[in-house]
Amino acid sequence: MLIGIDASRAVADQPTGTEHYSRELIRHILAVAAGQPNDRAFVLYTARQPGPGLIPKESPAELRVMPFPRLWTHFRLSLEMLRNRPDVLLVPAHVIPLVHPKISVATIHDLGHIYYPEAYPRATLKYLSWSTRHNINTAAHLLSDSEATKRDIIKHFGVAGKRITVVYPGVSPRFGPEYPPADLAAVKAAYGIDGPYVLYVGTLQPRKNVERLIEAFAMAKRAAGFSERLVLAGRMGWMPEGIMRRLAQMGEAVTLAGYVPETDLGPLYAGATAFVLPSLFEGFGMPVIEAMASGTPVIAANAASLPEVCDDAALLFDPHQTEELAEALSQVCSDPGLRAKLRARGFEQARRFTWREAAARTLDVLDRVAPPVGVR
């Protein structure tokens, strides 16, 4: 069986959530498959040469680099599907090309654009609406990052539950609590962080609820008098006006770290007093598990998939209530006992999520939906 994988999102220079998911899932699929006796062969499609590490040394997977200036998926990848069609195509982080094998599998990461359309630019909203419906209507089988997303797909698109398999993302072993003090100090110095801090990681855009986070942090700092500052790690996304207004009001109490590469992200998590993810909507919320694995107490929104992913290992709050978020920040920053409890629970929760398990479950799906030998 020849399995084609769209790896175009796995080669990003500055990967964010879905791109990180694509890269890690592909790497572990190839590693798991290499250790199994089977008849699978793999070909990865990209628009440019990936960095080292995407294809494990033990994997015989073929890499096809196919440069193309625009609309790579629907033109260049479609052309490849016409010329050399695999038995199964896996699309982990984008959209199924217009020309595709009969058996295609795609991951639906979330349906946030349906619940919060006002949080997206008009053109982005239109494309998300079309691409999500296209994937759902086209795929022989769907993957979702959480039970919450699976329920959303069934509710909004009438998809039969048996067509959807939940595959939780994993957490990389590079995230852990133990870093030499010199490494922690160097990372803090690199981003201009002086003293204790509360950390947010993610693109700065309306769906992430960053504007409310800045307001709540100011409220909590006035009420509780803690010494932490707020560090926002992530590049500026679309519709940033509200965030910039709040930042101007906060002055020096907030550090804009910008995009943080993965080499610095582990120490940045581990050195924080707490991590907070205030998103209005998440399909999984990978940073909460990374923070837990790093031994950092987590504060998270009680919305979409986050209660499922966090379970009892985070302090949850209503993301629409600024006062509730401020109270959660005050509690965690002021109560060492609460931080210790969340830290211990977080370690246990993070152990539930591994990329090898995600890869094994995905391979099981690909095997089940594959066409009979000789039929494409």
Q: What pLDDT digit, counting tens, does each position of 123-179 carry?
A: 999 999 999 999 999 999 999 999 999 999 999 999 999 999 999 999 998 899 888
Is 342 within the bounds of a domain? yes
Is 138 within the bounds of a domain? yes
Give the per-residue pLDDT at 371. 77
**Which amino acid, residue 131?**
S
pLDDT per residue as tens digits for the range 43-53? 999 999 988 88
Is 69 within the bounds of a domain? yes
* Same domain as 210, residue 138: no
* Same domain as 193, residue 128: no
What spatial distance separates the first Cα and last Cα of the chain, rounded to whole Å?
10
Is 375 within the bounds of a domain? no
Is 246 within the bounds of a domain? yes
* Same domain as 159, residue 189: no
- Please count the structural domains in the chain: 2
Is 376 within the bounds of a domain? no
For residue 81, the enclosing domain spans 2-170+354-369
Is 374 within the bounds of a domain? no
* Same domain as 203, residue 92: no
Rounded to two decimals, what is the model's pTM? 0.94
* Same domain as 232, residue 107: no
Q: Would strands 315-317 and 104-108 be described as parallel, antiparallel, or unpaired?
A: unpaired
* Same domain as 83, residue 220: no
* Same domain as 154, residue 224: no
* Same domain as 321, residue 364: no
* Same domain as 158, residue 281: no
CATH of the domain at 140: 3.40.50.2000
* Same domain as 279, residue 232: yes
As a dihedral over the C-alpha atoms of residue 68, residue 74, residue 75, residue 79, rounded to 10 degrees, the angle is 110
pLDDT per residue as tens digits for the range 312-350? 999 999 999 999 999 999 999 999 999 999 999 999 999
As a dihedral over the C-alpha atoms of residue 53, residue 56, residue 57, residue 59, rounded to 10 degrees, the angle is -150
Q: How far apart are CA 94 and CA 97, in angstroms?
A: 9
pLDDT per residue as tens digits for the range 93-120? 999 999 999 999 999 999 999 999 999 9
* Same domain as 223, residue 362: no
* Same domain as 238, residue 120: no
What percentage of the chain has pLDDT greater than the value 70? 98
pLDDT per residue as tens digits for the range 280-314? 999 999 999 999 999 999 999 999 999 999 999 99
Close Cβ partners of 309 (under 8 Å, ≥ 6 residues apart): 146, 168, 282, 284, 285, 288, 289
